[in-house]
Amino acid sequence: MVFVSDVAEPRQDGELPAKVTANTSVSANEQASAHPAAESTADMVVNTLREWYVLASDSIASLLDGRFLQQPARDLWLLGKHYDLTEHTDSATAYPQHVIDDFTRLIWCTYRSQYAPIAQSQFTTDAGWGCMLRAGQTLMAQALQLHALGRDWTFSWTSSDSEQVKRRQLYTKVVGEFFDDYDPRSSFSIQRMAALGQQFEGKDIGEWFGPYGTARILRGLARQANHDVTVYTTTDGVVYLADVCAQEFRPTLILVASMLGIDRVNPVYYAFIQASLMLPQSAGIAGGRPSSALYFAGVQGDELLYLDPHTTRPAVTRTEKEYSQSDLATYSCPTPRRIAMSRLDPCMVFGYYCATLESLVDLRSRIELLADDGVTAIVSFDNGHAPESAIAGSSESNESSGSSGSVRASESTGSEPIDSKARADDCRVSTPVLLTKLPNDSDNDDASCNSNTGRPKSESGEIILEGECSDEEWVTDL
């Protein structure tokens, strides 16, 4: 199935309102769920969002007549951008050069080595235990790149043109936020993530992290750094808009932790996974195959395009000089890989970057239109605040707002067949939905992260620390 429209504008026939008055009332249920201290702000937010939502829905509905078509074999979507590959007939390459260029612009966070020991540990590499942290970094990096440069940026590494230099500096600044050190500019370094993991999750350095634990860490680090981009996390699939806009709206990365099956993704969710990567707000998905974390950036038919963090590179040393393309070459990969959705682990985190309130309203409109078309959506929206009862019973109740906070979520992608309740506890999502055990897929031709030893192993059991992203061969997981 394909979500045909990639038009981001919420309406065509005029400007969105800058603000609305209190003429539109809030329902009794929403008033009951709102925090008294923020009531006036919440009223304004709800009224504004409601009016924008109606306008956006009307406009998008007219653009999406016949919204779903059978997925052509030659359609590809990469973080909301559509590529028609019907004209690509070169059998020597899987994709045309402009698609490869777009994929290469994704920031690729992988295992690193040869950096200073993390905290009081002796770990100078995260190979074997940090793959989900790296997948989370990759998702966060795409959101920051969208924030700083937009979706269709390009620049020259050698040009002296002022605009080219500015874009180059913005790109290197974003990449530098993921350098492996304690520099204040490394807001999302592996050192900071591991340290916050000890505080939030009780994880020792070297222990494997799950998808939601990683999302929660990213939110905490963004808050610590007072970052331009706010990170909002939810574990029950509900985005509470009054929490997103508690004071005033800031560019926001919404992270939705979900469990979409027991040991494999239930096929009923395939259409939503596909559509999610077609949305213009998509920042990708952090998930993986059982016991092996991946970052998903695109979709082609029933396969997802991904970046694999299981490649160990030397850490890049921070310097005050301007970085060259070769300095940061290991943060990009020119070789898209694909994996069938039937092989995915059900625990994953969906990322959506909303730069403006209009973009947030547009995201809500698109997702609710998906539901209208019969797609089983795992994301919904509520105009109020997260219920106090959910926050009070949450392990996150000691943190400030910015999460629905129902319970902690997604803490393992183990592949052992277990019952639905045990799997739900393992993933730590609020409510497991449509959990149907699927046939166990024992074929895993790539290195996996053994959750007991914390080391990636091949089929023969040999520990793997190094990997390469080959630009000579296109690899497809069948």
SS3 168: helix
Q: Identify which of 70, 157, 56, 124 has the alpha carbon closest to the alpha carbon of residue 367.
A: 56
Please choose, from the candidates 51, 45, 43, the residue with its C-alpha nearest in 3D space to the C-alpha of residue 22. 43
Is 310 marked active-site?
yes
Q: Is 174 exposed, middle or buried (0-12, 13-18, 19+ CB in 10 A)?
A: buried
Question: Given 310, 333, 354, 427, which residue is catalytic?
Answer: 310
For residue 270, what is the enclosing H or E element? Answer: helix 270-278
User: Is the Cβ–Cβ distance between 71 and 7 less than 8 Å?
Assistant: no
- Burial label for 29, CB within 10 Å (0-12, 13-18, 19+), is exposed
What region, left, alpha or beta, does residue 89 occupy, with left being phi > 0 and alpha being psi -120 to 50 degrees? alpha
Q: Identify the active-site residue in 43, 75, 126, 131.
A: 131
Active site residue 102: no
Count each helix (H run) and each strand (E run) in the chain, helices first. 12, 17
DSSP three-state, residue 136: helix
205 forms bridges with which residues in the sheet? none
User: How many CB atoms sit inside 10 A of residue 429's CB?
Assistant: 28
Contact 259, 272 (CB under 8 A): no
- Catalytic annotation present for 35: no
Closest C-alpha to 193, from 141, 146, 148, 132: 132
Residue type, 433: V
- Alpha carbon of 146 to those of 294, 367, 402: distances in Å? 20, 20, 21
Helix or strand or coil: residue 440? coil
Question: Quick one: which of 241, 263, 313 has its CA closest to 436?
Answer: 263
The upper half-sphere exposure of residue 58, i.e. CA atoms within 13 Å in the direction of its Cβ, equals 10
Quick check: helix, strand or coil at residue 67? coil
Q: Which residue matches tokens 């996974």? A: 273
Q: In which element (H, E) is residue 133 found?
A: helix 131-149
For the chain, the straight-line distance linking the first and the last C-alpha, in angstroms and rounded, comes to: 20
Q: From the candidates 43, 75, 180, 308, which is the catalytic residue? A: 308
DSSP structure class, residue 261 = B
Pairing of strands 282-289, 456-457: unpaired
Active-site residue numbers?
Answer: 131, 308, 310
